[in-house]
Chain A
Amino acid sequence: MTVAEKSDFLWKVLCPGAGWLLRAHAGRVTTQQVEQDIGILVGPGQTQADALKRAHRFALPVTQIEAYRIVHLRGTLGVQEIETLAETLLVDPIGQWWRVCRGNTRDPVQEPELESGRIVIETGLRPGVTDREGVEFVRASRQMGLKVEFATVATRWQIQGDLTEDQVHELANRVLHNEVVERWATGALAPAFADQAARPEPTLVLDIGGLDPDGLSELNQARRLGLDAAELVVIRDHFKGLGRNPTDAELETLAQTWSEHCAHKTFGAHITVQSKEGEEIGAVDSMMGTFLRAATDTVAAPWVQSAFVDNAGILSFEDGWEVAIKAETHNHPSALEPFGGSNTGVGGVVRDILGVSAKPIAITDILCFGDENLSPHELPPGVLNPSRVREGVIAGVGDYGNKIGVPTIAGAVLHDPSYTTTPLVFAGCLGLLPSGSNPTKAQPGDSIVVFGGAVGRDGVGGATFSSQTMGAETAEVAGSSVQIGDPIVEKGLIDVMVAAREAKLYTAVTDCGAGGLSSAVGEMAEELGAEVELGLVPRKYPGLAPWEVWLSEAQERMVVAAPDPEPLLALAQRWGVGAAVIGTFTGNGRLVVRDGEDVVIDLDCRFLHDGRPQRQMMAIAPDTSRPERSPLREDWTEVLLRLLAHPSIRSNEDIVRTFDHEILGGTLVRPYGGPKGQGAADGTVIVPPGTSGTRGVAIGIGVNCVLGRYNPNAMAWSVVDEAVRNVVIAGADPAELSLLDNFSWGDPTDQQTLGGLVEAVRGCHDAAVAFGAPFVSGKDSLYNVFVHPDGSPDPVAPTLVITAMGIVKNLGVVPLTGVVEPGNDVWLIGPLVGSLGGSHLDAVLGRDYGGQVPGVDPDTVRRHHQVAQAIATGLIRSAHDLSEGGLAVAAAEWALAGDLGLALEVPGSAEVLFGEGPGRYLLEVVPEDSLKLQALIPEAQNLGVVHGDPLVALGDLVVELGEIDHAWRGHHQAGGKA
């Protein structure tokens, strides 16, 4: 079939519902301009290899999937104008064609006539979901002088295969669309425009005065408030005391402000700790205060400008400059809508940085995915296929970071079976601000100005949703909590906020994240009080209930307090960002929200912020005893290759290269380096643009998801140590480090889960104090539990992410990624023998062989300082830390990164080759400098040399670089040679 014939064929097959327009287009009829809904189809279809692969995982008999773009639009258009629109806005001049494929939807839309074995499915965004393409289509067509009212983009999937009706549904639901944000139909999907989302609802007064605890609990569940029984009683009694009932908006505001997500009530709880025999062995009055803040107070680091109290930690960087740092989790949304979840996760943490008046300069991401080899039919209902989660999450991170123009410079990918039902997404951001330039004191009389996008029903109730466990129906009931970001709006916000800070136009700032205006204005008004008029809040469409406007988590918004809003509004206009004055900070200590004449909220700020009773919790201390380990004999070469191919160890270069890590021009140590750019760096370094250019910020990530099951306290030490090693290798001074903590844990009302968490937080405290590295910010994500339809809980592996940030004071001595030169000496710092309990060796061998997990080792602190000193003296050509998989994996990665060989003399025991533990490094030193290194670090052990042959030898274990490369790219299959 020729191209022309094929187009004609498609035209007939795909577009039978638009006969009159087709004729018009063919020139036989000239229609006048009429208001109409039409669809324009753009071809040729693009082959969808990924979708086909996914369909095959579900054993669907599909042989080809092609995707065509469709633009649905409503407007008053003539044939000539439609042609102009299509030619100007939709097709490329080479290789693309277009057809009108849909008539007026007021006429019945016919199902396309299908040839045998050809199926058409159309998918499109739900009305109200961020639709940048639709918005831009309307803007551009108006710019061209054409009358388009609405436009939205859809996809037509053309499928070849012999599918039953059930299989078509499965294909649509599991492979082609996500019901949380999209709609679908076989054949033609009727367009739905944003205005059709309207559904007005008045403010309700909820009669709770007479409810007993059971009644309160029912209300709590029905509205998904996520409040504790004690909190519900306090709220009921508060309103009883006022002699009235709360409005829905007041109750939702309290639920949001008191949510785990916003109030961190587990971290602030009073916890009684028992032994597993039930004996009380201790109590913790606030893990936050007792452990995290206490560590920071004990270290009393002079470089900390702000810790814990603001949206991000703020630290001294160099004369005149400070850096801000923060990391967040976005787990629950990413499980339901992976792209939107990770996308808005990045957006949120970037706004945290804007929320301390800093300019975002780098992004980090730690992604935890489940078992991709699981048969789809083993997936519990409501759980997305892990490969789809992986694709979506990665695409979401890249889409946001790349588009806002901030480099994504550090991260990690972990795999664990528990992440199948509860995938985790951690996103971090680094910012830069002139010293002392973050104002934090709003004044009575200041205007409340909100910047950014308009409000819709998307993202209502996210704060409370992410503070509860998930199950098969979560997507249905909490779907509207999840959204897709609009990074282009955020890019504008960055420009506006930086310009506003430079011009000193505001007295306080915060981001509009979880809880929307309720959280942002509520927090800023904590001491002053505020009055807000909801009618002034920009909306995407009419019909929103007042509480929805107040709590909508519509993304890409910032709130400031401004003595004079006019210059801010002018700035917003310059950068094309929305802005509105929505109220005033009053000074009377009341939060009053009006919707026209109606008072929707009238709350005492003290009750809102301090009225919550401290949570009382019980925990059972974890049992950390371990069975003895029996010796193992295996083919260590084969084991090494399997370790290299382990999904938590193997190369992530294919992911990292989809993220822009070069923009802003400040990246010094990239996530992947070496002569071929294929070697993973340990820590990464950025030279903040606009500063002196002589110093850098090093970022290191430590994370583990195995040790927490055996010994959460030791896990914390290991993870802090790993983060510290990574920044030391990147050239940072270990005497001046700062840390972020991010916990993703299960249900804290489960006493054993909580007991583990207490030990992990205690471990963080101890490590931070030992390392002299304060925590400056953090975030906990709890209730990462999937509840199966039979009620059985499936908790996430306890996962701790530590981000270490350090200052690189001499950019010239930073070691290179990968070994550099044949003939150089290789030195090991730290013990030759590691621990095998909870090791990756056991992970690839498929069972726990017992043995102690890597323990707390205070001596590592000294080693970090020694290595840093050797680097500062310029002795170290390259370095790599011993981490997952121990010495053998480290040597293989290091050699591959440098595209050179290594000859190391070591005993061939499992403990030496694969043992893991803190504070261990491999260093490359030119032979003439080896004596100097020994003088600096007397315990350093010479293991061998770098050589030019593409072989890595560890005693008797010899592997070719090519085999390492193959395995490390994830291609090695267990049992067979590469």
Chain B
Amino acid sequence: MKPRVLIPLALGTNRDADLGTAFELAGADPILVPLSELRAGKTRMNDFEILAIPGGFSYGDALGAGRLFGLDLMGWFGDQLHEAVAAGKPIIGICNGFQALVRAGLLPGPGHRAVLGSNRSSRFECRWVTLEPGSGPPKDQVPGRCLWTESLRGPLRCPVAHGEGRFVSDDLDALVQTGQIALRYVRVGTSTGGIIEEIPPGPDSYPHNPNGSVGNVAGVCDSTGQVLGLMPHPENHVFARQDPQRGRSSGGSCLPLFEAGVVAVGGKARMKIM
């Protein structure tokens, strides 16, 4: 049986269908459920193998992006979420879903403080970025490897579309130490024939690091390695035709990210169609 993915919907969630498509391509069975129905207890988080919090503008970003979604998650489903983590289930939050998981305190996790603040440009921005999977925790620390990103080979390419995505943490070094920086913004060098380069600090970091995140952080994992949050939208690069470079270049499909989640719960990734 295909793993079932719960995609909960708050008022104003809008990238749910895109996320569903990505999981479907990855070999899972996505199910979209409004929070009100979850709350009524018709469906429980434990009925699913994977939890995926989608992007959008939950509650219109009122009182700060993701804040009220996060409040819903913790206020209504706190126990179920902690159960899911304890049961080893993969959880992913993308964009507004990441913001909600940070507000809910699941990311970066207990003992850390982090905020997704307004972009340094103070504007909403939609553009494609390149992401490099983090090197993960030190070799001897097997638990805690991010199950979503550890198997990724090479960079991912996908769009960002957000106004509040600047990752700020008062203990970035600790997150680096524990290998929780799962994805970082990098740039494709112009002079070196398309080789991936670190983004230099200073004004040149924009737009490769589109929001001014410290350490070029695009995504973080919790200490268990099960919960991933990221600002960019991997769900919008799962078909070859979604690559804006079309004939000029290819690669960087984000489908393997979703497949990693599916494989982690014993599902079979579908045949590659890229």
B124 touches A403 (CB 8 A): no
Give the contacting residue for B34; candidates A144, A575, A662, A820; CB below 8 A. Answer: A575
Which single residue of chain B is at the shortest CB-CB distance from A49? B122
Q: Which residues of A contact B244 (CB under 8 A)?
A: 670, 673, 677
CA distance A781 to B267 in the complex (A): 57
Q: Is A504 at the interface (CB under 8 A from chain B)? A: no
Does B246 contact A816, Cβ atoms closer than 8 Å?
A: yes
**Proximity bits, A656-671, B CB within 8 Å = 1, else 0:** 0111111111011010
Which residues of chain B (119-174) have a CB below 8 Å from chain A? 123-128, 159, 161, 168-170
Q: A137-B62, A675-B245, A820-B247 are in contact. Are A665 and B235 (CB under 8 A)?
A: yes
Q: Give the contacts of A89-137 with B (CB-CB under 8 A).
A: 89-90, 92-95, 132-133, 135-137
Instruction: Give the shortest distance, in Å, between A434 (CB) and chain B (any CB).
Output: 16
Contact A660 B242 (CB under 8 A): no
Contacts of A90 in B (CB 8 A): 63
Contact with A along B50-68 (1 / 0, CB 8 A): 0000001101111110011
* CB neighbours of B125 from chain A (8 A): 657-658
Bound: A487/B246 CA distance, A: 32
Chain A: CB-nearest residue to B59 = A136
Count of chain A residues with a beta carbon within 8 Å of a chain B beta carbon: 53
> Which one of B123, B239, B242, B248 contacts A675 once the chains associate, using CB atoms below 8 Å?
B248
Given contacts A94-B170, A663-B236, A665-B235, contact A657 B126 (CB under 8 A): yes
Q: Mark A560-573, 1 if CB is under 8 A from B, else 0.
A: 00000000000001
Task: Tell me, yes or no, whether B176 is within 8 Å of chain A by CB.
Answer: no
| A766 close to chain B: CB less than 8 A | no
A136 contact from B56, B68, B124, B246, Cβ within 8 A: B68
A143 adjacent to B56 (CB under 8 Å)? no
Chain B residues, CB < 8 A from A486? 60
Question: Do B159 and A662 touch (CB < 8 A)?
Answer: yes
CA separation between A660 and B127, bound complex, in Å? 9
Instruction: Determine the chain A residues whose CB is within 8 A of the CB of B241 once the complex forms.
Output: 668, 687, 693, 811
Q: Which chain A residue lies CB-closest to B10?
A: A576
Taking the complex as formed, is B12 at the interface, i.e. its CB lies under 8 A from any CB of chain A? yes
| Interchain CB contact under 8 A, B117 and A92 | yes
Q: Bound state CA distance, A682 and B159, in angstroms?
A: 21
Is B81's beta carbon under 8 Å from chain A?
no
The answer to whether the Cβ of B14 comes within 8 Å of any Cβ in the partner chain is yes
> How far is it, in angstroms, between the C-alpha of A608 and the C-alpha of B169 when the chains are bound?
64
| Distance from B219 Cβ to chain A, minimum over Cβ atoms (Å) | 18
> Within the complex, what minimum Cβ distance (angstroms) separates B258 from chain A?
13
Which residues of chain A from 489 to 515 have any CB-CB distance to chain B below 8 Å in the complex?
Answer: 491-492
CB neighbours (8 Å) of B236 from chain A are: 662-663, 665
Cβ of A488 and Cβ of B59 under 8 Å apart? yes
User: For B124, what are the chain A residues with a Cβ–Cβ distance below 8 Å?
Assistant: 398, 402, 658-660
Kindly list chain A residues whose C-beta atoms are within 8 Å of the C-beta of B71.
Answer: 88-89, 140, 143-144
User: Taking the nearest CB of chain B, how far is it from the CB of A487, in angstroms?
Assistant: 7
B113 partner residues in chain A, CB cutoff 8 A: 93-94
A574 touches B36 (CB 8 A): yes
Bound CA–CA A139/B63 (angstroms): 12
Q: Tell me the smallest distance from the CB of A156 to a CB of chain B, in Å.
A: 17
User: Of A405, A576, A662, A677, which one neighbours B36 at CB under 8 angstroms?
Assistant: A576
When distances are taken between beta carbons in the complex, the residues of chain A under 8 Å from B115 are 92-95
A208 to B239, CA, bound (A): 66
Complex CA–CA separation, A575 to B13 (angstroms): 11
Asked whether, in the complex, the Cβ of B12 is within 8 Å of the Cβ of A133, the reply is no
Docked-complex contact A663 and B247, CB < 8 angstroms: no
Q: Which one of B14, B68, B239 has the highest number of Cβ atoms from chain A below 10 Å of its Cβ? A: B14
Q: Identify the interface centre among A93, A673, A687, A877: most chain B CB within 10 Å of its CB.
A: A93
Segment of B15-23, B84-92, B196-204, B220-228 in the binding face? B15-23
- CB within 8 Å for A664 and B17 given contacts A657-B127, A673-B244: yes
Q: In angstroms, how far is the closest chain B Cβ from the Cβ of A761?
A: 37
B123 touching A403 by the CB < 8 A rule?
Answer: no
User: In the complex, which residues of chain A have a beta carbon less than 8 angstroms from the beta carbon of B21?
Assistant: 665, 689
Bound-state Cα–Cα, A93 to B103, Å: 9
- The residue of chain B having its C-beta at the shortest distance from the C-beta of A145 within the complex is B75
Q: Determine the residue in chain A with the shortest Cβ distance to B75.
A: A143
Contacts A136-B62, A491-B12, A658-B124 given; indicate if A574 touches B161 (C-beta within 8 A): no
Q: Which residues of A contact B67 (CB under 8 A)?
A: 89
Question: B57's closest neighbor in chain A, by CB?
Answer: A403
B242 shortest CB reach to chain A, Å: 6
Whole-angstrom distance between the Cβ of B187 and the nearest chain A Cβ = 11
- Contact B68–A140 (Cβ < 8 Å): yes
Which residues of the other chain, B, contact A796 by a CB distance below 8 angstroms?
none
Q: Which of A488, A662, A673 contacts B12 (CB 8 A)?
A: A488
**CB-defined contacts of A663 to chain B, threshold 8 Å:** 14-15, 18, 161, 236
Q: Pick the contact of A402: B37, B161, B235 (CB < 8 A).
A: B161
CB neighbours of A180 from chain B (8 A): none
A404 within 8 A of B: yes
B residues in contact with A658, CB < 8 Å: 123-126
Inter-subunit contact B60/A132 (CB<8 Å): yes
Does residue B233 face the partner (Cβ distance < 8 Å to A)?
A: yes
Name the residue on B nearest A899 (C-beta): B190
Q: Of all chain B residues, which has the CB nearest A130?
A: B60
Q: Which of B60, B117, B126 is the one whose CB lies under 8 Å from A662?
A: B126
Cα(A658)–Cα(B75), bound, Å: 33
Q: Which of B34, B128, B235, B238 is close to A576, meaning CB atoms less than 8 Å apart?
A: B34
Question: How long is the Cα–Cα vector from A132 to B60 in the complex, in angstroms?
Answer: 7
Contacts of A660 in B (CB 8 A): 124, 126, 161
B residues less than 8 Å from A404 (CB atoms): 14
B242 and A665 contact, CB distance less than 8 A: yes
> In the complex the two chains form, what is the Cα distance from A687 to B242 in whole Å?
10
Closest to A673 in B: B244
Q: Which residues of B contact A659 (CB under 8 A)?
A: 124, 126
Cα of A364 to Cα of B246 in the assembled complex, Å: 23
A144-B75 contact given A402-B57, A576-B11, A811-B241, CB 8 Å threshold: yes
B128 touches A92 (CB 8 A): no
**Smallest beta-carbon distance B45→chain A, Å:** 19
Complex alpha-carbon distance, A675 and B130, angstroms: 13
A186 to chain B, nearest CB (A): 26
Q: Which residue of B lies closest to A402 (CB)?
A: B124
Interface code B104-124, partner A: CB below 8 Å = 1, 0 otherwise? 000000000111010000011
Closest to A90 in B: B63
- B248 to A816, Cβ gap below 8 A? yes
Most buried by B among A90, A95, A135, A488: A488
A786-844 interface with B by 8 A CB criterion: 811, 814, 816, 820
Can you pick out 20 interface pairs between chain A and chain B where the beta carbons lie within 8 Å of each other? A89-B71, A90-B63, A94-B113, A94-B169, A133-B60, A139-B68, A140-B68, A404-B14, A487-B57, A487-B60, A574-B34, A575-B34, A657-B123, A658-B123, A658-B126, A662-B233, A663-B161, A664-B18, A665-B18, A677-B244
Query: Which residues does B use to contact A, with CB under 8 Å?
Result: 11-12, 14-15, 17-18, 21, 34, 36-37, 56-57, 59-64, 67-68, 71-72, 75, 113-115, 117, 123-128, 159, 161, 168-170, 233, 235-236, 238-239, 241-242, 244-248
Q: Which residues of A contact B (CB under 8 A)?
A: 88-90, 92-95, 132-133, 135-137, 139-140, 143-144, 398, 402-405, 486-488, 491-492, 573-576, 657-665, 667-668, 670, 673, 675, 677, 687, 689, 693, 811, 814, 816, 820, 877
Q: List 6 A-B pairs, minimum CB-CB distance, nearest first.
A: A405-B14, A136-B62, A662-B159, A488-B12, A488-B60, A660-B161
Given contacts A140-B71, A488-B12, A877-B247, 9 further A-B contacts (CB under 8 A): A95-B117, A133-B62, A144-B71, A402-B161, A658-B126, A663-B14, A663-B15, A665-B239, A816-B246
